[in-house]
Chain A
Amino acid sequence: GAVVSQHPSRVICKSGTSVKIECRSLDFQATTMFWYRQFPKKSLMLMATSNEGSKATYEQGVEKDKFLINHASLTLSTLTVTSAHPEDSSFYICSAEGVFTNTGELFFGEGSRLTVL
């Protein structure tokens, strides 16, 4: 099946620094990638939709200057948490929709746990 890889799986950083998380589709081209955030004991929340070669579309309430998304190629999207603060600590998951499928099935990365001290 299609594989989506996320890196890093865990990251700890100091408050005020920026952290980049990568999401790669390993064996398929992804025209669209999605970034989710999961708070403890809560369901996943869609943060933004990223289309290759164009600006990301952010969900209401998500700060685009805080969460920078770049989708430079059909296999890579990055999420950069800028000037991270402890309240940004969360589990971030990406997913990708392949060009080969019209079923709407999404493939998910393993997730990245961010801890901001």
Chain B
Amino acid sequence: KQEVTQIPAALSVPEGENLVLNCSFTDSAIYNLQWFRQDPGKGLTSLLLIQSSQREQTSGRLNASLDKSSGRSTLYIAASQPGDSATYLCAVYSGAGSYQLTFGKGTKLSVIP
């Protein structure tokens, strides 16, 4: 059974700092991995999707990497801003007929002005 772990559970950084969020998964047989953002009381916003054959994806100040063999992904946020404050969720998609998307518990990020 796939398990996804995100460390740290919470992170507080001053504005302008670069930061890294970590995600690890136990079963490397994945179809893809997605990073989401969730604001309080809101649904999920997809940030980046990395296919199992890819090593990284970039969107603006965000860069996500994937090391399938070691079961790890990182989300790098450059020059953090207060508007980046949210909970960031990592989810692994097993695919291949199984539509199970396994989520981590998330990392709550606070960017202090």
Cα distance A109–B99 in the bound complex, in angstroms: 17
A103 touches B103 (CB 8 A): no
A43 partner, pick from B41, B42, B49, B104, beta carbons under 8 A: B104
Cα distance A110–B44 in the bound complex, in angstroms: 7
B105 touches A93 (CB 8 A): no
Cα distance A69–B91 in the bound complex, in angstroms: 23
Size class of the B contact interface (CB-based, 8 Å):
20 to 34
- B residues in contact with A49, CB < 8 Å: 99
B82 within 8 A of partner (CB): no
A43 touches B100 (CB 8 A): no
- A residues in contact with B45, CB < 8 Å: 108
* 26 sample A-B contacts, Cβ–Cβ < 8 Å, listed by A number: A32-B99, A34-B99, A34-B101, A43-B104, A43-B105, A44-B91, A44-B103, A46-B101, A91-B41, A93-B43, A103-B32, A103-B51, A104-B31, A104-B95, A105-B46, A105-B49, A106-B34, A106-B46, A107-B46, A108-B44, A108-B45, A109-B43, A110-B43, A111-B42, A111-B44, A113-B41
Q: Which residues of B contact A (CB under 8 A)?
A: 4, 31-32, 34, 36, 41-46, 49, 51, 89, 91, 93, 95, 99-101, 103-106
